[in-house]
Amino acid sequence: MKRIVFLDYVRVFACFLVMLVHASENFYGAPGSTDMAGPQSLLLSEADRLWVSIYDGFSRMSVPLFMIVSAFLLVPIKEGQTAVEFYRRRAKRILPPFFIFIILYSTVPMLWGQIDGATSMHDLSRGLLNFPTLAGHLWFMYPLIGLYLFIPMISPWLVKVSAKEERIFLWLFALSTCMPYLNRWCGELWGQCFWNEFHTLWYFSGYLGYLVLAHYIRVHLDWSRNKRLAIGSVMTVVGAVWTILSFYIQAVPGVLHETPVLELGWSFCTINCLMLTTGAFLIFSCIQKAETPRVILQLSDLSYGMYLIHIFWLGMWTTILKGQMGMPSVTAIPAIAVCTFMSCWASCLVISWLPGGKWVVGTSSSLPFANRTSMRSA
């Protein structure tokens, strides 16, 4: 199968945005939080309020972009491929690095005293149940695995469904992304109560909507390049402004905030995040290149490993740039993200050269910038 060039750009862009999000979180975590924001948030200045809102808000398309890239490549499954074959192939690709990093995040931080032996044993004992204490970013793997489990089930429907019927699903999905706002303004809706969270649109909600959206764009969307660029730009701008302002207007400096309330508009399945993500993906789909540049190709192949390892590097660069050098948020956030990104690139590249390195970072290579033509998913 021919490699889809623009997806490599999307994957690299999304990988960097994840690091930008987590760099930003060091500037609004309340006392006692780790390298990422905890249940409560506290902004110390108007400058932090502004730049956290901009950097973090704009970057909230990162996770949905990863979901769309995976679905764009994998949905529907190949004709004649069984669910077991699909699961085996996906598991071989993502599970070994995932489990290795669960172990690493449960043990390695003891070397510099960030966790103690009791926390380490607790994290290891729950290794199959949830992510370790200092690896909150691994939450993403669980819904991703859930989507992989569901792909063989939804593939027969996607093969047969018409464009009109798929649009009905997507409109209902879009309506479901308004629920966080509707719940705040109107309270419980459409069957919600303390004994039932499954409202009317529940079955059209969540990351499944991004999966169907990816299929619709690939199979049914026949817009010209100019139309994709124009509509994508408008959606990106509107979605970005909405997402940024949703945080900024609430984030009063010096006030202790409940993070879920403060980040309401930053949830990945909100209407503004859907607009931001869809718009950005449409813009990237306008890239017309015969081949992916070798640097982008290498970064794309290493993006999974870079995602898994980046919290180790993020903590170090935060300590240096924010703690020791005292850089302000306007420069510290992008600097932490760039330094983390480059460190992850270098370390994952070295690991990929080692025997068995693919089991740690998800890919292997023999030379820097080697041209790889095999199709890979996020």
3-state secondary structure 137-206: HHHHHHHHHHHHHHHHHHHHHHHHCCHHHHHHHHHHHHHHCCHHHHHHHHCCCCCCECCECCCCCHHHCC
pLDDT tens track for 133-162: 888 899 999 999 999 999 999 999 999 999
Tell me what pLDDT residue 35 has: 54
- Which element (helix H / strand E) includes 101? helix 83-107
- Give the Cα separation of 52 and 37 in Å (integer): 12
- Give the Cα separation of 238 and 277 in Å (integer): 11
Tell me what pLDDT residue 32 has: 61
Which segments of the chain have a pLDDT < 70? 1, 30-37, 365-378
| CA-closest candidate to residue 344, choices 312, 320, 376, 296 | 312
Tell me what pLDDT residue 378 has: 39
Three-state DSSP class for 88? helix
**Residue entry with tokens 């859907």:** 274
Give the DSSP per-residue string, 268-309: TTSHHHHHHHHHHHHHHTT---SS--HHHHHHHHHHHHHHHH
- Which element (helix H / strand E) includes 41? strand 40-41
Model confidence, pTM: 0.90
Other beta carbons within 10 Å of 306 = 27
Contacts of 54 (CB under 8 A, 6+ apart): 244
- Give the Cα separation of 283 and 333 in Å (integer): 25
Give the pair of three-digit tokens for residue 348: 């994952």
> For residue 40, which phi and psi values (nearest 5 degrees)?
-125, 150
Three-state DSSP class for 115? coil
Tell me what pLDDT residue 233 has: 96
- Give the Cα separation of 314 and 10 in Å (integer): 22
> For residue 155, which phi and psi values (nearest 5 degrees)?
-60, -45
Residue type, 293: P
CB 314 within 8 A of CB 20: no
Q: How far is CA 158 from CA 57, 88, 165, 215, 248, in A?
A: 32, 22, 10, 8, 39
Tell me what pLDDT residue 94 has: 92
- Give the Cα separation of 262 and 251 in Å (integer): 7
Three-state DSSP class for 256? coil
